[in-house]
Structure 1
Amino acid sequence: MQNMFHTAYYVVKKEKPFTDFPDLVQLNSRTGSNMTNCYLSDKACLRFTIDIYNVEREQLLSDLKNAGYISVMIDGATDTGNLENEIVYVKFFNKERGVVQSFLGIEDVKHAHADGVLSAVQTVFEKAGLDNWKEKVVFLCADGAAVNLGKRNGVAAKLKEEIGHLLAIHCVAHRLELGLVDSIKENQRLKQLQEVLQYLHQQYHYSPKALRELRMLADAMEEKVLKPTNLKGARWLPYIHKATQILCNSYAIFVAHFEDQVSPERTTRPSPAVMGRAKNILHYLKSHTNVQFMHFLLDTLDFLKALSLQFQQDSLTPGEAVQYIEACLNGLTELCLEPGEQQRKMLADAMNGTYRGVELKNTTTDTLATDRKKITDMLTKHIESRLGDLLSTESIVQTFSALDHNVWPKLDNSDESKEAFVLHGRANIESLCHHYQSILVREGTTVTEVLGVYRLYKIWARMRNGPLRDTLLEILQR
């Protein structure tokens, strides 16, 4: 029976249909696994799945009730009936399992205002048997919709009326994408390239004939081509990076296909509308400046995509988020000063005015220095604007850096280093104590006691290497 449960778990984990279950059981039997001859149906897989869910759910709720403090993440969703729902995730520390992040529940939103969303969140916790969840929650994360983070009547504002120490943050991955959207709105070159990428997706997504021709052409040229992707997704930034990467990697194939579409020798002529769009795209793709700009943007998106994926890590800490932001901004500054890897390769391959067999128009030795500076400065401005609260030294999030031994002053035998080490972080810890004063009072702890523990922590942690997360887990799991 254990192998049957494992097979059912695989079906659900890989998002396979339940009807695959009987065939997988038979396959396991043929490879020597000990499988029972009963329960060989999709209905049995459903029952196994429900049993697995109940066991996992029971463990989650038990750990959640024993957790000292929890963080909550909420997000809106629309089901197939076009009805609004609210999804609730929780994150907490368990001594045996470490940091646990899990889906808690989803609930219908009766009214699409802050009270309605908050009521849905309350219902999720009540169904989980956590009526006292507001006593444990210390952190709330949501997207930037006014219903969630509105200063006066948002969900966070209403919760802060009951939970004074609640720290509410707009999802950093979402804010990063909004920073790029702000930049695209301001720059015509970015708008133009976005329109090209959107057209490529529509052309090959809604026309099987066009996609078939593209792949046949790639086979004839002995190259590989991927279907142009949509620019929209759960995390939009990696999608636009992939779309740009596909265009740059398969540049010659796309040009050849559009040339074929506008050729007067073509047997079946496209409609005038398709012909017109194909000519415009072809004109864009044959410009030396535009091709160079595509590769410059790909260099830029490499940094932004990396930052987006780092923001999506379950293990992300506030200190790491700040470090990742600063590293990304430094990368953008490098692109402002000199061309990136993709742009350099493109310029080297197009020295004679031909790039991947395509004769470019308006060939120039200009490396887009002005455009590079304009766009990188604009991106930096909008990223800092969207994520400024994390970078500000006055932010409560920044005060957590007092715990990060990787940024402490180096301690040597000089009096100056000892003084800097002793004083470092003290003001931040006092700020944290002030912010979480209600918790300290409830736990019967004073600021003096917290500072004393912090001094011991600094002595112990200063010899540690590695990320802050590992250091804190080592302490908490003792």
Structure 2
Amino acid sequence: MSCTVCKRFKETADKSSVMYKGCSTFRIGTLQSHATNKAHLKCIDRDWEQNPCDEGPMVDAVRQCLLERKEKIMKLFNTAYYVAQKEKPFVEYQHLLDLQKKNGLDIPKHYTSDNACRRFIPFIFETLKKPQLQNIQNARVISVLADGSTDKSTVEQELVYVRYILDGEPVSQFLSIEEVNNGNAQGILQSIEGAFDRYNLMDWKDKLVGFGSDGAAVMIGCRNGVAALLKADIPWLIPIHCVAHRLELAVLRAIQDNEMFKKVKDVLIHIYKQYHFSPKQLREIKLIAAAMDHSMPKPSNLDGARWMPHHHKALKILLASYKPLVAHFEHIVQGRTTTADGIGRANSVLQLLRNYKGVYFCHFLSDVLEVLSILSQQYQKDDLTLSMALQCTENALLSLIALQHRPGEYVQRFLESVNQDGKFEGVELQHYDVNNHFHDIKAAIIDSVRAHISSRMDDIDKGHILQHAKVLDPAEWPLVMDRQQLATFGDHEIESLCDHFNGLLQNLGCDVNQLRYHEWIDLKNYLLRIQARHQGMKVVWKELFSVHKDRFPNILILVEIILVLPLSTSVCERGFSFMKRVKSDWRASLTTEMLRRLLFIAIEGPSLHAFDASLSFDMWLTGGKRRRRYVYGEAESSSDSENDS
């Protein structure tokens, strides 16, 4: 017995092979070994080149068989992708396949266990990750966003995101999650470097322009923080403390010492504890609310990762269920159905809720937190840029000033609801004075909030390189400029930006003189002519990057640098929410490698409808340690499974 193909191509064949020499033993192991021999496969390729067999009924039948089998396996890949994207455990894979079989779908008999789903995930991850890595590699400049937390297995993890320009718009995408061996700045920096080394992105520091973090000392410390260590190698780097975190700190510092706020906060805590820890009390107030034809949402906790949204939500629930709350606490005091401490807490709540000044302040505080919550939500957008941050900050400050001089939405509704006898929703308010609008209290709170927000945003508004970057936003330009003013407007700021990023601009091949003396004047004239102030810079920059990149080749590099600066790290907080759902108490044994894959699929993966399983299938078919025999099926072995669950 011998191989006729190898005999035909003697110069390519392995002459030491028994199938080339000929053998008299008919053993399947001999055939299998020869079938995977590299020299034999080369002979097969040469034979196919000389005698291609791509026509005929037999070829068509085999091709159809392979296609049908591929479509079946792709159903399994789609199911595995759904499991990963929806953050479900691997055991759900089997149940979903059983459901599909019950609904009449033709599902293969093999690769149907949770181990098969686990083995499909790396191939899905690789096919989805490849385009992202290519985009990062092609990006001229990038910024890094990083934040740390502890997962369910008490492992300290560092989330790493990358921000760059994609199709003319800034995007922040999940890069990796890395274990932190040491919680100091050096250890965190090693984790960030490990994320880039993992994907062979060796030149990332050469094009790094910004570093975003939550403001912890270990991250932005001016001497030994991660930003300081990076800045030692990258002199043009701009470390940025997340504006959403700054806003939280500013507002908390501004009103935490206000006496009225302390009273409102104590009342909100009492109400939450009253109904969170006592099903009996919650049941009673729901009955009272139903009798009054009121809805009664469950009071919420004040604690959380975000201070403002939790306080605002608790305050809105208090105002929406004001009447049932007063009735229930009056019942507690009059009926003496609880402990002395409970009656004391009920009296303290009623003291605020029956007082005109207390109820007025609750509505006023709701107006203030409404403005600040909208600002916080805008700060948390993924596509937040410097011009957008400046604009929404100014809008919020103007809205706060307006609250000093006229009633806000909540206060106006309250004033309209109070009748001439001083009753609000049937409750008589003590110390009612229709002419008292507590201007001193409102002015003190609003002035304090504005002052703290302005002080926290100082590096953007003045005395920082970011202040010069505002010149690229037409919304910051004077409303009226004559020709002479336009000719020299912004020259100092552009020169400062070019000086700061000089090393980077040279590395990117930017002609700084062309930028300063020609393209800047051309860009100013163009932006005024198209009235960019009214179009929105997001639309304008996208058009410039796609249509006019040859007209402004140098100054668009500077624009790209400013657009990728990471003003907010809220995307990292959302990443940790994904991590907590994926690596839950029931999946605490997930390794960091598998967690990394699952997080990327859940965060950056396309919709199930847009997912193309054929790419993952092709990689799976050719990427195994041994040749896939998917036409006939392949027995699954527990030894192939990874130590993940």
TM-score, normalised to structure 2, is 0.68
Secondary structure at 1:477 match in 2: helix
Identify the match of residue 423 of structure 1 among 488, 498, 501: 488
Secondary structure at 1:377 match in 2: helix
Distance 1:17 1:91 in 2: 30
Distance 1:278 1:249 in 2: 19
Indicate the residue corresponding to 2:455 in structure 1.
385
Structure with higher Rg: it is 2
Distance 1:108 1:66 in 2: 27
Distance 2:422 2:113 in 1: 63
Question: RMSD value over aligned CA atoms?
Answer: 2.6
Q: Judging changes above 3 Å, is the alpha-carbon distance between structure 1 residues 128 and 261 closer, same or farther for their aligned structure 2 residues?
A: farther
The alpha-carbon deviation at position 291 of structure 1 amounts to 0.6
The alpha-carbon deviation at position 130 of structure 1 amounts to 1.7
Identify the match of residue 127 of structure 2 among 46, 50, 55: 55
* Structure 1: segments with no counterpart, 5+ residues: none
Q: Judging changes above 3 Å, is the alpha-carbon distance between structure 1 residues 47 and 444 closer, same or farther for their aligned structure 2 residues?
A: closer
* Structure 2 residue 527 is the aligned partner of structure 1 residue 461: yes
Indicate the residue corresponding to 1:285 in structure 2.
353
Distance 1:376 1:123 in 2: 46
Give a deviation string over 1:115-154, Cα, whole Å, max 9, x none: 1221221122222222322112110111121111111111
Indicate the residue corresponding to 1:183 in structure 2.
254
Distance 2:416 2:522 in 1: 57
Identify the match of residue 373 of structure 1 among 432, 443, 448: 443
The alpha-carbon deviation at position 210 of structure 1 amounts to 2.7
* Structure 2 residue 400 is the aligned partner of structure 1 residue 335: no
* Structure 2 residue 217 is the aligned partner of structure 1 residue 146: yes
Q: Which one-letter code corresponds to 2:275 in the other structure?
A: Y
* Structure 2 residue 158 is the aligned partner of structure 1 residue 158: no
Indicate the residue corresponding to 1:110 in structure 2.
181
- Contact 2:180/2:188, CA 8 A, preserved across alignment: yes
The alpha-carbon deviation at position 100 of structure 1 amounts to 2.9
Q: Judging changes above 3 Å, is the alpha-carbon distance between structure 1 residues 256 and 158 closer, same or farther for their aligned structure 2 residues?
A: same
* Structure 2 residue 363 is the aligned partner of structure 1 residue 363: no
- Larger deviation: 298-307 or 190-199? 190-199
The alpha-carbon deviation at position 110 of structure 1 amounts to 2.3
Q: Judging changes above 3 Å, is the alpha-carbon distance between structure 1 residues 399 and 5 closer, same or farther for their aligned structure 2 residues?
A: farther
Q: Judging changes above 3 Å, is the alpha-carbon distance between structure 1 residues 259 and 90 closer, same or farther for their aligned structure 2 residues?
A: same
Identify the match of residue 390 of structure 2 among 309, 317, 322: 322
Indicate the residue corresponding to 1:129 in structure 2.
200
Amino-acid identity (%) = 38
Distance 1:358 1:22 in 2: 59
Distance 1:223 1:215 in 2: 9
Identify the match of residue 404 of structure 1 among 467, 473, 489: 473
* Structure 2 residue 545 is the aligned partner of structure 1 residue 476: yes
The alpha-carbon deviation at position 26 of structure 1 amounts to 6.9
Indicate the residue corresponding to 1:271 in structure 2.
339
- Contact 1:408/1:421, CA 8 A, preserved across alignment: no
Distance 1:293 1:58 in 2: 55
Secondary structure at 1:89 match in 2: strand
Distance 1:358 1:21 in 2: 57
Secondary structure at 2:326 match in 1: helix
Q: Which one-letter code corresponds to 1:389 in the other structure?
A: D
TM-score, normalised to structure 1, is 0.90
Give a deviation string over 1:312-334, Cα, whole Å, max 9, x none: 11111101111111111111111
The alpha-carbon deviation at position 374 of structure 1 amounts to 0.7
- Larger deviation: 208-217 or 273-282? 208-217
Distance 1:35 1:225 in 2: 49
Aligned length: 468
The alpha-carbon deviation at position 297 of structure 1 amounts to 0.4
Q: Which has the higher contact order (CA 8 A, sep 6+)?
A: 2
Identify the match of residue 307 of structure 1 among 353, 361, 375: 375
Give a deviation string over 1:7-62, Cα, whole Å, max 9, x none: 55555445455555566667778889x67466666656555555433322222222
* Structure 2: segments with no counterpart, 5+ residues: 1-71, 548-645
- Contact 1:354/1:360, CA 8 A, preserved across alignment: yes
Q: Judging changes above 3 Å, is the alpha-carbon distance between structure 1 residues 295 and 317 closer, same or farther for their aligned structure 2 residues?
A: same
Q: Judging changes above 3 Å, is the alpha-carbon distance between structure 1 residues 249 and 37 closer, same or farther for their aligned structure 2 residues?
A: farther
The alpha-carbon deviation at position 203 of structure 1 amounts to 2.7
The alpha-carbon deviation at position 357 of structure 1 amounts to 2.0
Q: Judging changes above 3 Å, is the alpha-carbon distance between structure 1 residues 20 and 342 closer, same or farther for their aligned structure 2 residues?
A: farther
- Contact 2:171/2:382, CA 8 A, preserved across alignment: no
- Contact 1:409/1:420, CA 8 A, preserved across alignment: no
Indicate the residue corresponding to 1:248 in structure 2.
319
Secondary structure at 2:256 match in 1: helix
- Contact 1:114/1:147, CA 8 A, preserved across alignment: yes
Distance 2:76 2:325 in 1: 48
